[in-house]
Every structure is written in C-alpha cells, then in structure tokens.
Amino acid sequence: MRLWDIAWKDLKTFLRGRTRVVFSILMPIILMIMLGFIFPKAGGSYGGSIGVYSKDLIFNSKVEKSLSNTAASKMIFYNSRQDLINALASGKIVIGAIIPKDFSLSVALNRSVAMDVIPSPANPQAGIMMSQMLVGVFGSEGTKNTKRNVVKSKLVNADGTAFNYYDFTVPGLMAMIAIMSVMTGLASSITRERELGTLDGIMVTPISRGSIVIGKILAQSIRGIATAMVILVVSWLFFGVKFTGTSLLWTIFLLLLSTFSFIGVGVMFTAAMKDQETAMISMTTITFPMMFFSGVFFPIQQMPKIMQYIAYIFPLTYAADALRKVITLNVGWNFIWMDVVVLICFTVVTSAIATVSFQKLTQD
Amino acid sequence: MNTKKAIVVKGLKKYFKKVKAVDGISFEVKYGELFALLGQNGAGKSTTIRVLTNLAVPTDGYIEVAGYDLLKDPTNVRRNIGLVAEKVILYNDLTAMENIKFFSRLYGIKDSISEERAKEFLKLFDIWTFKDMLISKMSTGMRQKVNLARALVPDPKIIFLDEPTLGLDPVSTKHIRDFIVGLREEGRTIVYTTHVLHDVELMNVDEVAIMSEGKIISKGTLKEIKKHFKKAEIVEMETDETLAKDKIKGKILIQEGGYLKVEVEDIGEFLRDVAKLNIQIRSFKTLEPSLEDVYVELSEGSDNNVEKGMRNTLNEEVK
C-alpha cells in the first residue's frame, strides 16, 4: 500500500498551498461557465450587411429592381474588389460577394455560374450561412425562370484561394501559442528563480527592480519571437497560409505585440506566486479561458452579448482580430490600428503596473 | 556620506501577520568588523539579514547600511553589499565564470575586471580549473566556493554571510571559515549568521549578538558575553590519589581516580581547600564556559528548546 502513501503525500502537499487550491477550484468553474455560455442559443443570428462587387454591368440594376426591400436594404455595392475587402476588414459587411462578368447572361441561359464569396474573417460562420442565402436570392429572385442550382457560391479568401475554417483559426492560434509560450516561460523564469534563491541574488545587486522586470520581459519577448517564427513556418508549410511582404511584417509585429501585451499580467501573477506549481495553475486559469473567449476557435460575434463584452477584456481578442485581417484579407494599418492601439495600451499599462508592483510582490 | 559605522540598526521590527520574526532589535557593526549573529533556527537571523540586504521590507525601525538609509536610498545600500545566503545564488545551467560575470555586470563591473577578480578567488579556493564547469555538475562545497567568489568579485564593503557553511563537509567548512577570517584581516566588514557556535569561537569574531524569538538576548565581544554569564568556574585537575567527595566544595562533574572535573563557585576558596589536603597535584586548569554553554543558558532562559545535539565541546584553556 505504499503507493497510497505516495498519493496521500502528493495530495496533502498540494492542499497545503492555499492559492494553488483556490486556483484549482476556480479553473474548472470558470472554464465550465465560459464554455457553457459562449455558444449562442438556437444557432445564433447571422445579421449584417452583404457587400457586392459586380463585374457584370447589367447585374446591379437588375438585382436592385427585383430584390425584395428587406434583402436590398442589406446590400451594399462596391466598385472594386479592394473596396469590398476593405469593407470586410472594417466590419461594415459580414460577407462579400463577387459577381463575375457573365453572371446575368449565364443565369439567363440557365448556364451554371459561380460567384466568389469572401466571408468576414471575424465571423466566417455567418459568412458561410449567408453565402447559401445569396445563392437563393441571386438564383431565384434575381432572375426569373432559372433552373435550381444554376448559381453556385464558392467560399474564397481575399486572394481567391479556397476558404476553410482553418483560415479563421490559424491567426488566433498563432497569437495564442506565442502568448502561451511566453506565459509558461515567465512562470518558470520568476517563480523558479525565487525558489532557487537566484532572484534574491539579483535583487540584492544595485540593479533597479524595474530593470529586472524589463529584462525578464525582454527575454520572454525574444522567446516569443522565436516561437512566432516557428508558428509562421508551420502555418506556411502545413496549412497553406500565404504571406505577402507586408502581411509577413505585420504578422511578426502583431505576434510580438501580442506577447508584450500579456507579459505585464504574467509578471504580476508569477511574481505574486510563491512556487512554480501555483504559478502554472494560475496562468492556466487565465490563458485557457482566454482561448475560448478571444474568438480563437469560435467567432465572438456569435457569442451572447454579455460574453462579447467579456471577450474584449482579453488582449488575445485584439491580437487575433488584427492577425486575421492581416493574414486573410492582406490589409494594413488603416484596418488594424484600433487593435494595435489597444494592444499597446495593454502592454504599457500592465508592464507599468508589473514594474511598480514587482518589488512589493517579490519582497517579503 | 560614510559614517564610522558600517551598519546601524535601531528598533528593527519585521512582522509576518501575527508572527514577530524580528521584534525590535538594535545593534551596530563597525567597519572592518566580523560580526556574528547567533541563534537557533527561527530566531530571526535570516529575516534580519533579508531586511538589511533590502530583500524584505521592515515593519518598523531605522536601518543604515554603509552610511545610507536603507529605506531612503536602497540602491546605494545594495551597491555596497554582497550576500551569501543559505541557498546558493548561482544558476545551475551556467558555468562558474558565467555566473560570476553575470552578477558582476549587475554591479556595473566589466567582464575583464570581474574575470581577473574571479581568477584570484577561484585560485585561492583551488577551483580555478573548474571555472568553465556547469554549476549543476559541481559538488556542494565547490558551489559554495563559487558562490562566495560571486559575492566578493564586485568588491562589496559589507558582506552578509547567512549560514554559509550549512550542509558542507568539515573540510569545506574549514576552508570557508579560514577564508572568512582572511577577509576580516583584509579589513572587510562581515556579518555572519550561524547556529554552529564552534565556527564562531574558532573564527574569533569581533562581536556577537545572540538572537532568540526575534530579540537580541545578548551582545558584545565573545569574552564579554562569556564573562557576563559566567556564574561558576570549571576546574579540571589531576592528583596522585582520589579525593574524598566530602572534601571538595563544588559540583563534581567527573571523577575518575585522580582525575577531577568540578564546577566551583569561588575558585580561591577551592584552592585553599585543596592546599589543606596536602596532596600532589599533577595538573590544574580552569576552563572558561564555552559560547555554547552561554548560548544554551540564554536560550533556555528564554524558554527555547535548544537541541542538545548541537552542542560542541570546545573549551578555552585559560591557564
């Protein structure tokens, strides 16, 4: 029965750490509540405007005339593909349809015709649903006496390549992995040093407490860069994520900013924890729900309203949003500046708090 | 703005919620002094060191280290101190030299200078050939030597040594003890904490403060402390024949044939009594109480449970 002795000892030592126990109880509660409430009731709503860029000159007037008022009110026509993409990036529309040159003629002749549909990177589920609706609208209402299934929709990315759900998750995953790697690094960096006594060795030197924190942040950021590079290569090699020169630079910048934005919080948490295990549990309690809340796997727009507000507390939400726009729509500063500003604010505020509170948290 | 005192502590208190780890202690350490802070585990020695080295915030009190007010100018305090704590302050995944260089850089010392100084210390410790060895591969004794070098390379004015010989074998302990004495001879100020009284007596420290339950229960030079608490004198003598017990005025500790160890209240009276017996005395010496005797007595006086196993049997021969 010695194995029970081992188990008993492990459990008893675990229970002796009050913070550890509290976080261990909190984590499943938070996770269950969050996971239970982030999904919409009855499939959710798929509202929003539809963007249309038509290369078919006679299509616009024809569609406008024949569409019902409700459907027409939801449509916004754009003069170029880029305008349509920009509208998607700015969130004005949830889906962008590109009508080919011979669309009207093909429909009139009952010839099969496909339109490209670009779903919003923030809410691809809505895009997928609405693309089906568009097929119905343009295929039956837009023109009379057409055979069913003449009009088809093809879900594409902004660059014309076929869209799949992974295109939605990859950018968020990139940010999340970068953040997670830094968080685990921080937990071991600060708490481990404290356990070993080396943190005392540093703190007894004339170096300022602020420099210690910034040094730690710098080291973790370099780790973050390395992780981000691995993520980029894996995404490009195995998942067909394509980068242009600008989007690659933006991606690297955003991944870095994502890690920066969370490091301050990480420093505060790990500095306050007395041992590595407690630090890891507390970090998991924050980072794990963050994955689900920040729209990495599931669009925020599909969550109940209250959950959407909570989602905007997490920096990962902004990082994932900006990365999605950059990677899937290949847009730049004009469309991601808000996310960047928020992430910079997170970085500055949390790092400042971490620097100021580091001494209090690490001194007895 | 240096003062003559290396350390001035007035009414230092450090409370952890209801626990009074340090409860209003005051002491001073002069420059060039080897000052020992004695006490059993939990007496408050390490907490005192943590406060003095700016690793813990005092609950109350005034602290001046190297002429600087610790609370007002902690950076200058840290610039002038070095710490060797119970835990070895070294990174296992770095080599001895990498560790020393890293910590020296935090004092603003260039690598070339720290390397030179490290060479001096590591050679003195006879571990220069291991300078590129990872700390994780070193023995406990070697690590502690590197640890000492790490603390000394920045050339601090005041060195805090918190139980530096803890867990070391006797040979390493002696090396480190001798080294510390050498540091004092160089004129460095050393604050040394220990519960190994034997070390303190061997190092002949300049001043001792004995702590118990967060308070200083005695302080002064070794001699002053012993003298102050000396209630009886211990006499060890050898005679040709066994003395009758009723002829001896004192508490017999050991009597084996002609050998007698006795605790006497008045040595003059004892000598007069022995002289009257008209016996041949082969040897006679008085033994001063050891620091351990004083320490145990003081600790017991403050209701502390001192481990008897901690006792050493060093006595100083005075005659």
pLDDT at site B47: 93
Are A248 and A276 part of one and the same domain?
yes
CATH number at residue B304: 3.30.70
Note down pLDDT in tens along chain B; length 319 residues: 444 799 999 999 999 888 899 999 999 999 999 999 988 888 899 999 999 999 999 999 999 999 999 999 999 999 999 999 888 999 998 999 999 999 999 999 999 999 999 999 999 888 999 999 999 999 988 998 999 999 999 999 999 999 888 877 888 888 888 888 888 888 899 999 988 777 888 888 899 999 988 999 888 888 887 776 666 678 888 888 888 878 777 878 788 888 888 888 777 888 888 888 888 888 888 876 666 767 766 666 554 433 333 333 223 322 2
Q: Shortest CA distance to B184 belongs to which of B198, B201, B205?
A: B205
Does the distance separating the beta carbons of B103 and A205 come in below 8 Å? yes
Q: Which one of A196, A201, A204 has the shortest CB-CB distance to B54?
A: A204
* Residue A236 tokens, joined: 């490009």
Q: Which has the minimum average pLDDT: A58-62, A351-355, B69-73, B77-81?
A: A58-62
For A89-115, give one letter per residue: b (16+ CB within 10 A) or e.
Answer: bebbbbbbbbbbeebbebbbeeeebeb
Are residues B80 and B154 in contact, defined by beta-carbon separation less than 8 angstroms? no
Query: Could you tell me how many CB contacts below 8 A there are between chain A and chain B?
Result: 56
Q: Are residues A135 and A176 in the same domain?
A: no
CATH of the domain at A76: 3.40.1710.10
Contacts of A272 (CB under 8 A, 6+ apart): A361
Phi and psi torsions of A87, nearest 5°? -65, -40
* b/e burial code for range A248-275 (CB count within 10 A of at least 16 → b): eebbeebbbbbbbbbbbbbbbbbbbbee
pLDDT at B30: 93
Summarised one tens digit per residue, pLDDT across range A158-215 is 777 777 777 777 788 888 887 777 777 777 777 888 888 898 999 999 998 878 877 8
Q: How many domains are contained in chain A?
A: 2
- Domain span at B289: 229-310
> Residue A202 — φ and ψ, nearest 5°?
-75, -45
Average pLDDT, chain A: 78
Q: Is A215 on the interface with B (CB under 8 A)?
A: no
Q: Which residues of A touch B82 (CB under 8 A)?
A: 204
pLDDT tens track for A19-45: 778 878 887 787 777 777 766 655 555
Partners of residue A205 in chain B, C-beta under 8 Å: 78, 103, 106-107, 154
Smallest CA-to-CA distance from B40 within B199, B212, B174, B215 is with B212
pLDDT digits (tens, 9 = 90+) for A289-341: 777 777 777 777 777 777 788 888 888 888 888 888 888 787 878 888 989 99
Nearest-Cα distance to chain B for A205, in Å, is 5
Residues A317 and A176 in one domain: yes
The DSSP-derived string for A215-243 is HHHHHHHHHHHHHHHHHHHHHHHHS----
To the nearest whole percent, how much of chain A has pLDDT over 70? Answer: 86
Identify the weakest region by mean pLDDT among A1-10, A139-148, B111-120, B214-223.
Answer: A139-148
DSSP class of B95? B
Whether residues B56 and A364 touch (CB distance < 8 A) is answered with yes
B40 and B153 both lie in a single domain: yes
- Contact list in B for residue A204 (CB cut-off 8 A) is 53-55, 78, 81-83
**CB B258 within 8 Å of CB B238:** yes
Q: Is residue A61 part of a domain?
A: yes
What range defines the domain where residue A222 resides? 166-362
In A, minimum Cα distance to B160 occurs at: A204
Last residue of a domain, one of B185, B202, B227: B227
Answer yes or no: do B216 and B233 share one domain.
Answer: no
Instruction: Name which of B57, B78, B86 is nearest A363 (Cβ-Cβ).
Output: B57
Nearest CA in chain B to A212: B106
Q: Which residues in chain B are closer than 8 Å to A201, comparing Cβ atoms?
A: 83, 85, 89-90, 103, 150
